[in-house]
Structure 1
Amino acid sequence: MNLLYLIVIGAVAGYLATRIMHIKADPLKTIAIGIAGALIGGFILQVVLTIAGVLGGIIGAVLGAILLIWIYQTVTAKKK
């Protein structure tokens, strides 16, 4: 099923890419372009999402630490 899915998505992606780039290619080349593009695009997207995930984790950790410091300062200020 995955192979069929990859071929169908590759064919559609290849067709759209060849039309956008104004390239004439036979159906086999169009499918090959689409499959290769899907693999390359998937890899690039995975790298970008990983980087975004790490940055999101850092931002979340900093915001959490800021909140914790604010709570600590608020609690200790009332005790003085």
Structure 2
Amino acid sequence: MLDVAAQMPHTEKWTPPFDPRFPNQNQTRNCYQNFLDYHRCIKNMSRRGKDLRPCEYYLRVYRSLCPSSWVQRWTEQIKEGTFPGKI
């Protein structure tokens, strides 16, 4: 499930577009929501046997907004089955 994330280099410079759901300066919720959306997208597309490329958008957004320590911790929690979000 995380193979797509491992293949994309984190060195690319990219700024996510404005999301009206998160108008404030604090982008913590935006980061978390895009992390969830990415994993939900991967899960649903894999289950249906469809191409995973549309999920790359969420990957790029959360990699741009989220601190890598958060992503690392959330990924470990997903593997352990202790992640608090609904994927």
User: What TM-score do the two structures reach when normalised by structure 1?
Assistant: 0.35
User: What TM-score do the two structures reach when normalised by structure 2?
Assistant: 0.32
Q: Computing the radius of gyration over CA atoms, which structure comes out larger, 1 or 2?
A: 1
Higher helix share: 1
